[in-house]
Structure 1
Amino acid sequence: MNKFDKAKYSNHTTSVLRLEGKRKFLKNLLVKMVFEYSNKISGSIANNDFIELRNSITLRLESIFYHYDLLASINISGEESINNKQISPLITSQIALKQDFLLDSIIFNTLSLFDYTSCLTKFILEDNKQKKKLLWTQLVRTSRGTGNFKETSLAKLINDLDKNWVFKLGEYRAELIHYKDDFVSESLKHYVKEGKYIISISAPSSLKKHFKEFKLVDNNKASINEVSLWVIENSIECVICLVEELINYFDIIRKVPLGKEIITHKQ
């Protein structure tokens, strides 16, 4: 996981392109996972339940990017816009409120992404394929259990991801749902002669308290766009690590003998 660094997200276009690359990589990795599951675990191309769970992860991933696209379409903090008309502070407040709502949706969808990935992990680990539901918190408890699984690299990775990222994000979500909303602040600079204005929306203050790096002066001025991209990027990287480890884990629990793969790749 990457600690927040404002400089890394200061160029919005570059940041979005980088995330698009990771989004594509994860989607391709999820496709590869189906082939690996067929060749090493099921021995069949009829893996409808597995594919359904995989598709749920992909759908949630698309939902995250959809909500960020909406957030960015409203305003990109710190970037100049052209408008010869006077911008009302009321409009600025409305922009801040809408982007605040969308960041909440990104947080909710991101944590849902981990729950969906947890369900797929359960399907892989357990012989009973009828029970497909397993929240991320339950998967973490399983990885810390008393069985042999807790000694595997997969279990250790799940614990690391939870400790360094998912748990903190979940604590913030719980605060939003159960205790209080987390409002953002906004500022407006209007250059009348040039017909330009800059609207800046800060990242939510309560989110910052869950991550120590925001105590740094530069990071404390993070915008809502920058923090949204950081949340998305870190979460995608976590899921990539987990999916890669699951693919490796297929070799440990392999059921299809070597040489009996049903899908071959021509060189």
Structure 2
Amino acid sequence: MKKIIFVDNPNECLEEIKQLIRIVYEGFMALSHDYGYHINNVFGDAAKGKVEIYELRDSINYRIRSANLHFYLLLIQKAEIERRFTAMLEKDPTCFDGFWGSNPYFENAADEIMAIYDSIIFHLSSCFDYLAMLTQYVFGKNPQTKLQWITLVKHCYNPNGEFSGRKFVANIKKVDADFVSKFNDYRAELIHRKKSTSFANVSLKIKSGRGKVITQFECSEKIKSNLKKIISQDLDYCVTFASFKLIKETLLDISLVLNGMYDEFRENYKPHTPIIKQGGFQIVSMNPDTGFAESPALSNWEKFMEYKKFQQITL
């Protein structure tokens, strides 16, 4: 059985993703605070229903957490398949022998794993469309426009477009070129042209004779090709490990875009002049050293910048 990289410490991977989700949420909180301080004083508008910027923020957070939940379910299902196969072998050591061509037990197991994997792909891909809508809402000329990611990227490449000169444009271009465009093509292929089980091969290893069974749902060359920016083409991976890397990459790419928005607010908006709405109230943070009002987002941004400690390393 060849060496396949897999999630050998599930709790460690789950904890890493949990920490990144918390950090990214600090970034979204910071963005909404900067929006309320610099662009549109929405503080206190909750009585009219949840303000849309908070809805968009929470929609992205929902997609991220849903992907993480399905990653957890993927790990659980892999363990359940191994338990099932172990029990089958203990009852009949020849239960996997004698099949011509494909093995139906392996095929059914692959279907179970890849069905969960598909959900991870779909949730993660949706994050970027929500991020495009949030970008349009905060910085666009028509905030209510429901922008898709691909359209946002086109705007960013337009030298005369509405985002021309914005600090976050270079970050969006980089994220799209390095990951999102290829990832969205892959998502479209899964939906419209080929089911996911065509992308994984199942192998089985038995420890100590008829003891514990270990299954590996190996990524095909097709998966590795579509994810070549985050996993090496020269190594072999289990679908569980590829899923972990996908979630982490998505969180880091979202963070890079948010970092560009942080730069935009710090460089192109006046730090001590909050927007005041007549009859409303404004939330500010007072700088103890200068005595000037500042955006309440700054403490959230400081926590958010911890994302840089998690920079992706391709394996």
Q: TM-score, normalised by structure 1?
A: 0.84
1:145 aligns with 2:158: yes
Within a 5 Å distance, the mapping from 1:239-250 to structure 2 comes to 239-250=254-265
Identity %: 23
Specify the SS of the correspondent of 1:215. Answer: coil
With over 3 angstroms needed to count, the CA separation of the structure-2 counterparts of 1:100 and 1:204, relative to structure 1, is farther
Greater helix fraction, Structure 1 or Structure 2: 1
Q: Report if the CA contact (8 A) 1:40-1:251 is conserved.
A: no
Equivalent position to 1:100, from 108, 111, 114: 114
Mean CA deviation greater in 96-105 or 247-256: 247-256
With over 3 angstroms needed to count, the CA separation of the structure-2 counterparts of 1:41 and 1:172, relative to structure 1, is same
1:28-54 deviations in whole A, cap 9, x for unaligned? Answer: 221222222111221330370111111
1:14 CA displacement: 2.3
Q: Report if the CA contact (8 A) 2:67-2:120 is conserved.
A: yes
1:85 CA displacement: 4.5
Q: Report if the CA contact (8 A) 1:43-1:256 is conserved.
A: no
Q: TM-score, normalised by structure 2?
A: 0.72
1:228 aligns with 2:247: no
Match of 2:233 in 1: 215
- Separation in 2 of the partners of 1:65 and 1:228? 9
Within a 5 Å distance, the mapping from 1:63-78 to structure 2 comes to 63-75=66-78
Q: Report if the CA contact (8 A) 1:81-1:198 is conserved.
A: no
Equivalent position to 1:189, from 205, 209, 213: 205
Specify the SS of the correspondent of 1:147. Answer: coil
Match of 1:26 in 2: 24
Q: Report if the CA contact (8 A) 1:61-1:113 is conserved.
A: yes
1:185-237 deviations in whole A, cap 9, x for unaligned? Answer: 11122346563111111124322123445431xx2x20000000011100110
- Separation in 2 of the partners of 1:129 and 1:255? 21
Equivalent position to 1:158, from 163, 172, 193: 172
Within a 5 Å distance, the mapping from 1:244-263 to structure 2 comes to 244-252=259-267, 254=269, 258=273, 262-263=282-283
Equivalent position to 1:167, from 154, 175, 181: 181
1:45-68 deviations in whole A, cap 9, x for unaligned? Answer: 037011111111111111111211
Q: Report if the CA contact (8 A) 2:86-2:213 is conserved.
A: yes
Specify the SS of the correspondent of 1:185. Answer: strand
With over 3 angstroms needed to count, the CA separation of the structure-2 counterparts of 1:80 and 1:12, relative to structure 1, is farther
Q: Report if the CA contact (8 A) 2:56-2:133 is conserved.
A: yes
Equivalent position to 2:14, from 13, 16, 24: 16
Match of 2:303 in 1: none
Structure 2 unmatched runs, 5+ = 97-103, 277-281, 289-315
Counterpart amino acid of residue 115 in structure 1: D
With over 3 angstroms needed to count, the CA separation of the structure-2 counterparts of 1:158 and 1:8, relative to structure 1, is farther
Equivalent position to 1:37, from 35, 55, 60: 35
With over 3 angstroms needed to count, the CA separation of the structure-2 counterparts of 1:8 and 1:257, relative to structure 1, is farther
Give the superposed CA RMSD.
3.0
Aligned residues: 258
Mean CA deviation greater in 247-256 or 202-211: 247-256
Match of 1:51 in 2: 54
Counterpart amino acid of residue 239 in structure 2: I
Higher Rg of the two aligned structures:
2
1:130 CA displacement: 3.0
With over 3 angstroms needed to count, the CA separation of the structure-2 counterparts of 1:82 and 1:14, relative to structure 1, is farther
With over 3 angstroms needed to count, the CA separation of the structure-2 counterparts of 1:34 and 1:250, relative to structure 1, is same
Counterpart amino acid of residue 233 in structure 1: K
Structure 1 unmatched runs, 5+ = 1-5
